[in-house]
Amino acid sequence: MKISASLYSDKNRSIEDLVHELDSYQIDAFHIDCNDDINVFDDIHKINAISPTIIDLHIITETPDIYKPLLQQHPIEWVTFQFENLPKGYELPIISNTEMGLAIMNDTPIEVFDAYANQCSFILLMTTTPGQSGGSFNTDTFKKIRQFKNKYPDKRIHVDGGVNAEVSFILRDLGVYSSVSGSYLLKHTHIGAALYSLKAAETSSSFLIKDFMIPLEELPVLDIRACSFESIVRTMDQYKLGFTLFTDKDETLAGVTSNADLRKGILKNMQDLQAIKARDIINLHPIKINENKSIHQMLQQIKQLPFIILFMPVVDEQNRLKGAVTFNNLIKGES
């Protein structure tokens, strides 16, 4: 995941000093909040004069046409307009070598992106008040990230507000492309250490598994008492997560089928594929985790395993299936 440093979160240092230090740590982008203030383009000019790093400009305005000539004059790679402030039906400008994005607040549904999907490369999910530094992260954003990825799989997701090390780990797991960090990064004793925590480190967290797991309604789940080999394969193909989960009576977790289980079942019955039964490809004793465990506890459990896993079913105290966590994006690494 890329990190975009919110430069205005540090008001005690010059733009030039911040840019030089952040570049020494190979920051991915410089985030500039423009709260209807064209003077920010003076800072953008300064940055472009001393750094090749991406400019990530977030514009909050009710008069967006004022910014068209300024955007054409200054090299800016990412430009985001705040949806709630835009005139109704406004067409975003087309600027050479600039990718456009749409920023939305927590209470705004992701469906507003429909009208801008052909104009934008990404969405910026705001978890705190735009332009304000130091806010806390809104966990409802985890759900919106999943919803957006399902609805617009070819568009990137950027996140802004309250991003620290523990939040960053979950965002990376959810496949977020870029996150904006202000106070956590720029007010940290060691910027380099903070940047590492945001981009790569495993960290202890106050978040529980149930705070960010994929809920049942978004998962491939079959009744183990009434499934067939064909229904399992079709379900796996429909959801494209690489696994299917099974429940028994009382919604208890009864097993899983992964791509590996499917492959083993086919190899075992290679001479007569028509003879494959559901039981041949279901793992009745899967690795699982309780919904009230922490991220740290989950990581410790995974580290003790002698093999790599791509997902884990999530259960409650009665072994009822509640959801799942996946690790595809962490294993893929940076896109």
Look up the CATH number of the domain holding residue 255.
Answer: 3.10.580.10
Share of the chain above pLDDT 70, in %: 94
- At 30 the pLDDT is 97
Reported as a pLDDT band with limits 50, 70 and 90, residue 205 is: low
Residue 127: predicted pLDDT: 87
Both 91 and 232 in a single domain? no
pLDDT, position 309: 87
pLDDT of residue 331: 54
- Residues 165, 217, single domain; the answer is no
Alpha helical stretches, state H, 155-241: 165-174, 183-186, 191-199, 209-212, 229-239
CA distances from 325 to 62, 102, 240, 295 (A): 40, 28, 14, 11
54 and 73 part of one domain: yes
β-bridge pairing 2-6 and 122-126: unpaired
Please name the amino acid found at residue 229. Answer: F
* pLDDT for res 201: 60
Sign of the CA dihedral running 33, 34, 39, 41: positive
For residues 177 and 286, membership in a common domain is answered with no
Domain tally, the chain: 2
Give percent of the chain with pLDDT exceeding 90. 67
For residue 334, pLDDT over 50 is answered with no
Mean pLDDT, the chain, as a whole number? 90
| 172 & 296 share domain | no
| CATH number of the domain encompassing residue 18 | 3.20.20.70
Same domain, 251 and 198: no
- Among 184, 203, 222, residue at a domain's last position: 203
Percent of the chain that is helix, strand, coil (3-state, to 5)? 40, 25, 40
Q: So what's the pLDDT on residue 203?
A: 57
144 and 175 in a single domain? The answer is yes
The pTM of the full predicted model, rounded to 2 decimals, is: 0.82
Q: For 320, which DSSP code?
A: B
Q: What is the pLDDT of residues 230-272, one digit of tens each?
A: 999 999 999 999 999 999 989 999 999 999 999 998 998 888 8
Residues 223 and 79 placed together within one structural domain of the fold: no
Average pLDDT for 272-298: 91
Digit-coded pLDDT (tens) for 100-153: 999 999 899 999 999 999 999 999 999 865 545 545 677 789 999 999 999 999
**Would the pLDDT of 329 be above 90?**
no
The phi, psi pair for 296, rounded to 5°, reads -60, -45
Residues 217 and 198 in one domain: no
pLDDT at 300: 86
pLDDT at 109: 95
Residue 221: strand pairing partners: 245
pLDDT digits (tens, 9 = 90+) for 107-120: 999 999 999 999 99
More confident residue, 101 or 161: 101
Q: Which of 149, 169, 203 delimits the end of a domain?
A: 203
* Mean predicted confidence (pLDDT) in 16-33: 95
Mean pLDDT of 26-52: 96
Same domain as 198, residue 297: no
Is 90 exceeded by the pLDDT of residue 333?
no
Give 208's strand partners. 294
C-alpha dihedral sign at 9, 208, 175, 102: negative
Task: Specify the pLDDT at position 90.
Answer: 93
- My answer on whether 30 and 177 are in the same domain is yes
What burial class does residue 238 get, using C-beta atoms within 10 Å of its C-beta: 0-12 exposed, 13-18 middle, 19+ buried? exposed
Q: Which residues span the domain enclosing 104?
A: 2-203
DSSP 8-class letter at 239: H
Task: Determine the pLDDT at residue 335.
Answer: 43
**Last-in-domain residue among 145, 173, 203:** 203
Residues 123, 7 share a domain:
yes
Reduced to 3 states (helix: H, G, I; strand: E, B; else coil), residue 313 is strand
